[in-house]
Amino acid sequence: MSEKIIGFFLSEKFIVPIVVIIVGIVIYKIAEKILGKANIKGKNDLDKKRRNTVVILLLNIIKYSSIIIGLIIILDVYGVNTTSFIAGLGIAGVVIGLAFQEALKDIINGINIIMDDYYVVGDVIIYNNFEGTVISFGLKTTKIKSDMGEVLTVANRNISTITNLSQKKAVLYIEIPTSIESDQKVATKTIEKIIGEISKYSYVEAKESEFLGIEKINSTTINYLFKIKCNQGKEKELRRNINKKIIENYQKNNIKLKD
C-alpha cells in the first residue's frame, strides 16, 4: 500500500500537474512584472492610465490562456486524447459560442472599448446618469465607483454610449463676493495672486486661467470673476483649494467677503 502511495507521488500524474501549476504562476508573475514596467513608463497621466488598462486586459488573457493550456497538458498526462479533444473544440466552439454568446459579447466589446479609446482605468465617466471613476476593467465587466463610494458593475456588452469627462478640460468660473468697502486695487492683486498659486497645480492649465474683472456690483458688494481651466474630474478638489486660498489671502490682506 505504502509503495503505491510513494509510487503515485513519484509518478507523472502527481508531478506534472504541480509543475504545470508552478510554471503557470511563474509565467503570470513574469508577465505581470514586464507589463508593469511598460505601465510605469507612460509619458503622461492619460498614457499611464491607458497602459494600465491594457496591462489588466493582457494579464487576464494570459491567465485564462495558461489555465486552458495547463488543463490540456494535465488531461494528456491522465490519458485523455487531447488531440481529438482539441480537434473537437471546433464543433464544441459552436455549442459553447451559443451557450456563452453573452460572455463572448462582453469580451469582444471589451476589446472594442480599448481599441476605440472609450475609457481607461482612472477615467471619470457617466454611464446611464451614473457618474464615477473607472476602477476596474476586465474581459467581461467594468466597475465604476461614484464619489459616494457606490460601485456599479456593468457588463461590457451593455456599454455602447458613455460620456468620458476625463478626455476634455473643465472650465470653472469663480465669483468672489467682496465688500465694496475693501480697496479694489488690493482685492484685484490678491485675486491675481490666488490665480497664480492655483495655476501651479499639475492638473491646472495656467495659460487658460485668468482674472476676468468685475461681474456684478451693488451698494454693498462687488463680485469679482475669474476662470480656471483644469483636468476633468478635478473640479471638486480644485474648488475646495480655491476656497481655502480665497479665505487665507483675503484674511491676510484684510479684505472682507460678503454673503
Q: What is the residue extent of each domain of the chain?
A: 2-87, 118-166, 168-252
- Which regions of the chain are under pLDDT 50? 98-99
Taking a C-beta distance cutoff of 8 angstroms, is the pair 44, 120 a contact? Answer: no
How confident is the model at residue 235, as a pLDDT? 81
How confident is the model at residue 243, as a pLDDT? 92
Nearest CA to 137 out of 125, 150, 149 is that of 125
CATH class of the structural domain 168-252: alpha beta
Decide the pairing of beta strands 169-179 and 204-217. unpaired
Task: Report the predicted TM-score, pTM, of the whole model to 2 decimal places.
Answer: 0.45
* DSSP-assigned letter for residue 157: G
How confident is the model at residue 129, as a pLDDT? 87
Grid coordinates of 186: 488690493
Q: Do domains 118-166 and 168-252 have the same CATH topology?
A: no
Query: SS3 of 26, please?
Result: helix
How confident is the model at residue 224, as a pLDDT? 92
How confident is the model at residue 11, as a pLDDT? 67
CATH class of the structural domain 118-166: mainly beta
Grid coordinates of 7: 509510487
How confident is the model at residue 193, as a pLDDT? 92
Q: Which residue has the cell 494535465?
A: 74
